[in-house]
Structure 1
Amino acid sequence: MKSRILFLISTVLMLMSPLSHAEQLKNIGSLEVHYSALNATFIPPAVAKSYGIKRSSANALINIAILDKNQAGKPALTANITGKARNLLGTTKPLTFREVREGKAIYYLAEFRFANEEKLIFDIEVQAQGNRSGKLSFQQQFYSE
């Protein structure tokens, strides 16, 4: 049952990605950092409840997965992820990531609040196992439903 929920949340996150940006991936050395940010109302209620995600028209979610591009089968990596979001006025919002494990899959989720039509710039530090690290920066505009 839980693997079906993980599959559903992964599918929803991947399906929502084209609405904001096509392939959301950054290569950092030997790391493939996959990321998506979306309004939390896109997550089905049952999935949100099982992962403790607050669904609200002013709440959003970042999902990050890190793969080793030098390994066959690209296994998921554990990491320490920190970051912040800032709007165009310079107001910052700290991001607190939590690890979610489901079998071999490892995801990092962070929730944050936003104002309608707010454009946010994300600055994220990734420190993956094996002393590999780097920065991920992107921006995205969010809309309340």
Structure 2
Amino acid sequence: MKRLALFLITACLSVGAMAADVIKAERMEKFGDITVHYNTFNSTFLTPDIAKAAELTRSKNQGVINVSVIKGGKPLMAQVSGTVKDLTSKTVPLTFQQITEQGAIYYIAQYPVPQQETRTFEIKVQTGDKINTLNFNQELFPGE
């Protein structure tokens, strides 16, 4: 699982760098003393071993969203849920699974990417009694 955590961190950084022309911003949001890092990418960026370990489907038509919650420089457990909406307002619920490894906690979910389009994500992160909501748009592309 250490390889999975390392890969997801690397994927977040490298996908962010590759998409810098589109995104133009770091993918994080602060809510008081809590920082939520997030990124989404096509599942073909995952190696077959990593996808299998994370129980993810590796396909050109599947995207992955990765969320981590940090407080005081340390990973924080949270309840993460959300949806992704296409341009016709068709909404797909995101089912996040928690991955806990030594020194890291990630929440990952998959969603369909049938064609190139901009999608709207709404991610709810609950820590204790507080629920914070991330809303962002992302242009998505099916993989090769």
Q: Does 1:119 align with 2:122?
A: no
- RMSD (Å) for aligned C-alpha atoms: 1.3
TM-score by length of 2: 0.90
Q: 1:32-43 alignment to 2 at 5 Å?
A: 32-43=35-46
SS at match of 2:124: strand
Give the counterpart of 1:66 among 61, 69, 74: 69
Stretches of 4+ aligned residues off by more than 6 angstroms: none
Are the aligned partners of 1:9 and 1:47 in contact in 2 as well (CA < 8 Å)?
A: no
Q: What is the alpha-carbon distance in structure 2 between the residues aligned to residue 95 and residue 52 of structure 1? A: 15
* 1:1-145 map, 5 Å: 2-20=1-19, 21=23, 22-68=25-71, 71=72, 74-128=73-127, 130-144=128-142, 145=144
Structure 2 SS opposite 1:116: coil
Shift of 1:39: 0.2
Cα distance between partner residues in 1 of 2:50 and 2:122: 27
The Cα shift of 1:133 comes to 2.3
TM-score, with structure 1 as normaliser: 0.90
Aligned partners of 2:115, 2:136: CA distance in 1, in Å? Answer: 18
5+ long unaligned stretches in structure 1: none
Structure 2 unaligned spans of 5+: none
Instruction: Tell me the number of residue pairs that the alignment of Structure 1 and Structure 2 aligns.
Output: 139
Between the aligned residues of both structures, percent identity stands at 31
Residue pair 1:115, 1:142 contacting (<8 A) in 2 also? no
Task: Determine the C-alpha separation between the residues in 2 that align with 1:61 and 1:102.
Answer: 19
Distance 1:120 1:26, change over 3 A: same
